[in-house]
Amino acid sequence: MSKYMSAQFSGLKAYTPGEQPLDMEYVKLNTNESPFPPSPQVIKVIQSEQAKRLNLYPDPEYTALRQALAQRYGVNKDNVFVANGSDEVLNFSFLAFCDANNGIAFPNISYGFYQVFAQLYHIPAKIIPLRPDFHLAPEDYWNLDCNIVFANPNAPTGLAISAAQVESIVQRNPKHVVVVDEAYVDFGGESCVPLTKQYDNLLVCMTFSKSRSMAGARLGFAIANEALIEDLDRIRYSTNPYNINRLTAKAGVAAVESEEYYKENCRVIRENRAYTETQLERRGFYTLPSQANFLFTRCPDMDGSTLYQALKRRGVLVRYWDKPILRNYVRVTIGSRSQMDVFLAAVDDARKEK
Amino acid sequence: MSKYMSAQFSGLKAYTPGEQPLDMEYVKLNTNESPFPPSPQVIKVIQSEQAKRLNLYPDPEYTALRQALAQRYGVNKDNVFVANGSDEVLNFSFLAFCDANNGIAFPNISYGFYQVFAQLYHIPAKIIPLRPDFHLAPEDYWNLDCNIVFANPNAPTGLAISAAQVESIVQRNPKHVVVVDEAYVDFGGESCVPLTKQYDNLLVCMTFSKSRSMAGARLGFAIANEALIEDLDRIRYSTNPYNINRLTAKAGVAAVESEEYYKENCRVIRENRAYTETQLERRGFYTLPSQANFLFTRCPDMDGSTLYQALKRRGVLVRYWDKPILRNYVRVTIGSRSQMDVFLAAVDDARKEK
């Protein structure tokens, strides 16, 4: 920290994204990317003559993209907010709805960025422990006196709660915003988007980075009552109105229109998830039942850090956290069948060495 | 504003970007875009097989891009910060270096976003009037007790001060950060990048949106002492570490390597600027001597709003501001020679009608 930085950030601990090492090609099972390329229609848009128009700013209202998303999710354009990745949706949500008097509650084990946003903006955080088996108990979030955010399915556990359970939380916190981060919903979770029509305090946050294979394009969105969307847009127009790349916005429309392609990819991921889970079970691993594109799993004879390092030496990247409750687990992204076989072979090899 | 939005934003007036109407094709001379497409090398990168890798996140350190920029500007990689447009550089600069005790000074007439950032983060703003002929007097910025930001060349005036004049400001405010927004520097201004080696409180902010024809790609950067860059990175890693599109980062490298192409474009813009200025002078307009890719000009017989509207009806977009000092002017982006001829013909036609 330089002597010029505002003292308010002296304690700020930034987010640590999953490593993206450049030294060699790894089998990357550490940042929950899709193993599949974007749809052929998306690639066609990006490789089209549109590249020659990059001298022009995008439409800052991103009308076509919001319309496409509205149609896909059965809402109106004014119920859709678009952003430079869902991290930006979350960032703006913390900024817009929270302050010193309006704190935010989130699980102790969830997307690590919630804690960072709270710290960044000096927002009081109420951290609610998951139950010992890692499940999120909706009643722990009833009648809180603050905003709420959680991932559903949750990360890194992969566990999901039902839309009815989310509704119980939304209903019982009418004076505060409940942000449901559905980054992984397409792999088996139940979306709460339909509930946004009934509840003006529910904001559903989604991304093109996972099921839609566009992590590198940076595109996220939120669906909510139009007043909440207006609030987020007010922040967007006060920070970075042209927040999405012009080609990405066009590619996003093509992605929404490529539903069948992505549905099939999600089916394959679920199949590979079941396969990997079975294979790990045969090896004595304990794995949480995941609704996401990753598994949170515990090796019978190595802690998370040891397994992570042994796999990295073998060219396979997974993720682990050096936190007491998580220490024995690793999170493994579900990739292609051949990637999972490389991972399983590396696991076997690592355990033999031991 | 919804009932859920933090009360701290009740007075927030968001930025109003130049209009991007979708109803028809205009001759767009209102948002200072380049009339030229990105370089052939940039287009080649975007249309390459790289589009198929968009399922993967970018390198969050953007190493290759920062190295290319470092080489181009004669600094080290650690002196370069990259962002989702220079608006994001500015946003992060306000957040990182300013607070209730560390305000910021900027000219009354400059990029309108400075005022918005200050409001957003509740930063005390010291607004310093330009001199009556619109010039920025460096001595007005000497020995202030706060951070400083200004555009050089300034917008919408197009007037520039010399690097030595900037240095006088930087030297006389050693306890605060001076942000020089060089969005338009490639059209005739003198860059302060070399001064960043001497002064640890100087941050130079630049963009790929203007001279490098990539407004739609969203790419900006800053050059400064590495401690300031670390501060900005701390904010970036606390908001949106993957802030730049993967293809844009690769295209950015190609753009930096296409120096000759962009230099030639800037030469043409300066030529068209001189041509337009002469043509306007013949018609009795008063135009400030611009070092940027736009002219700030006053029609002898119409105020800014009237001229703007008359031109819009004729399919030509320019920009005007409804502020007392600016009311009689319009800002006209310098486009291709044929665009400028369409503009001049529309001016003639509008004045005939009158």
Nearest CA among B129, B117, B130, B203 for reference residue B166: B203
Residues A105-119 have a mean pLDDT of 97
Residue A62 touches chain B, beta carbons under 8 Å: no
- Beta-bridge partners for B107: B128
CA distance linking residue A307 with residue A285, whole number of Å: 12
Query: pLDDT class for A161, splitting at 50, 70, 90?
Result: very high
A22 pLDDT more than 90: no
Residues B138-164 have a mean pLDDT of 98
B354 pLDDT more than 80: no
| Residue of B45, B54, B81, B202 to mutate, testing the A interface (most A Cβ within 10 Å of its Cβ) | B54
Nearest-CA residue of chain B relative to A1? Answer: B231
Nearest-CA residue of chain A relative to B5? Answer: A97
Report pLDDT digits (tens) over B47-62. 999 999 999 999 999 9
Nearest CA among A314, A315, A310 for reference residue A299: A310
Residues A180-190 have a mean pLDDT of 98
Residue A54 touches chain B, beta carbons under 8 Å: yes
In the prediction, which pLDDT does B23 show? 80
Provide the shortest C-alpha distance from residue A341 to chain B (in Å).
20
CA distance linking residue A312 with residue A305, whole number of Å: 10
For helices B226-236 and B86-97, the axis angle rounded to 10 degrees is 100
Which residues 232-271 of B are in CB contact (within 8 Å) with A? Answer: 234-235, 237-248
In the prediction, which pLDDT does B142 show? 98
Residue B51 touches chain A, beta carbons under 8 Å: yes
Contacts of residue B255, Cβ cutoff 8 Å, sequence gap at least 6: B38, B39, B41, B42, B208, B212, B214, B262
Residue A28 touches chain B, beta carbons under 8 Å: yes
Report H helices in chain A.
Answer: 40-46, 63-73, 86-97, 113-120, 163-171, 226-236, 246-256, 259-282, 304-313, 337-353
In the prediction, which pLDDT does A336 show? 97
A42 pLDDT more than 80: yes
Name chain A contacts of B176, Cβ cutoff 8 Å: 4
Give the rounded percent of residues in chain A with a pLDDT score beyond 70: 100
Name chain B contacts of A214, Cβ cutoff 8 Å: 54-55
Report pLDDT digits (tens) over B198-215. 999 999 999 999 999 999
Nearest to A214 among B55, B61, B234 (CB): B55
In the prediction, which pLDDT does A19 show? 86
Nearest-CA residue of chain B relative to A99? Answer: B6
Residues A316-329 have a mean pLDDT of 94
CA distance linking residue B295 with residue B155, whole number of Å: 10
Name chain A contacts of B61, Cβ cutoff 8 Å: 20
In the prediction, which pLDDT does B115 show? 97
> Which DSSP category does B213 fall into?
S
Name chain B contacts of A91, Cβ cutoff 8 Å: 239-240
Report pLDDT digits (tens) over A210-225. 999 999 999 999 999 9
Which residues 68-107 of A are in CB contact (within 8 Å) with B? Answer: 84-85, 87-88, 91, 95-99, 102
In the prediction, which pLDDT does A18 show? 86
Query: pLDDT class for B18, splitting at 50, 70, 90?
Result: confident
CA distance linking residue B334 with residue B22, whole number of Å: 21
Which residues 100-159 of B are in CB contact (within 8 Å) with A? Answer: 102, 116-117, 119-120
The amino acid occupying position A62 is Y
Does A52 sit within 8 Å of B228, measured CB to CB? no
Distance of CA B299 to the CA centre of its chain: 25
Cβ-Cβ pairs closer than 8 A, A with B, add up to 269
B157 pLDDT more than 90: yes
In the prediction, which pLDDT does B248 show? 98
Does A243 sit within 8 Å of B217, measured CB to CB? no
Length of chain A: 354
Report pLDDT digits (tens) over A241-255. 999 999 999 999 999
CA distance linking residue B87 with residue A238, whole number of Å: 10
Provide the shortest C-alpha distance from residue B85 to chain A (in Å).
8
Cβ atoms of A210 and A183 within 8 Å: the answer is yes
Residue A191 touches chain B, beta carbons under 8 Å: no
Which residues 276-315 of A are in CB contact (within 8 Å) with B? Answer: none
CA distance linking residue A263 with residue A211, whole number of Å: 8
Does B241 sit within 8 Å of A17, measured CB to CB? yes
Nearest to B240 among A2, A85, A176 (CB): A85
CA distance linking residue A246 with residue A61, whole number of Å: 11
In the prediction, which pLDDT does B25 show? 86
* A284, two tokens: 């004595």
- Average predicted confidence (pLDDT) for chain B: 97
Nearest CA among A199, A247, A189 for reference residue A223: A199
A23 pLDDT more than 90: no
Nearest CA among B198, B164, B200, B161 for reference residue B181: B161
DSSP secondary structure string for all residues of B104-132: EEEESSS-THHHHHHHHTT--EEEEPPPT
Report pLDDT digits (tens) over B228-282. 999 999 999 999 999 999 999 999 999 999 999 999 999 999 999 999 999 999 9
Q: Which residues of A307-346 are buried (b: 16+ CB within 10 A; e: fewer)?
A: bbebbbebebbbbbbeeeebebbbbbbbbeeebbbbbbeb
Nearest to B54 among A217, A225, A241 (CB): A217
Nearest CA among B58, B236, B251, B40 for reference residue A12: B236
Nearest-CA residue of chain A relative to B32? Answer: A56
CA distance linking residue A303 with residue A351, whole number of Å: 12
In the prediction, which pLDDT does B20 show? 84
For the sheet with A286-287, list strands across it. A286-287, A294-298, A329-333
Report pLDDT digits (tens) over A49-71. 999 999 999 999 999 999 999 99
Residue with tokens 């520039």: B160
Query: pLDDT class for A21, splitting at 50, 70, 90?
Result: confident
In the prediction, which pLDDT does B289 show? 97
Residue B325 touches chain A, beta carbons under 8 Å: no
Name chain A contacts of B235, Cβ cutoff 8 Å: 9, 120
Provide the shortest C-alpha distance from residue A65 to chain B (in Å).
14
Residue A207 touches chain B, beta carbons under 8 Å: no
Cβ atoms of A157 and A288 within 8 Å: the answer is yes
State the distance between the two ends of chain A, measured CA to CA, in whole angstroms. 42
Nearest-CA residue of chain B relative to A112? Answer: B238
Query: pLDDT class for A113, splitting at 50, 70, 90?
Result: very high
Nearest to A216 among B38, B56, B84 (CB): B56
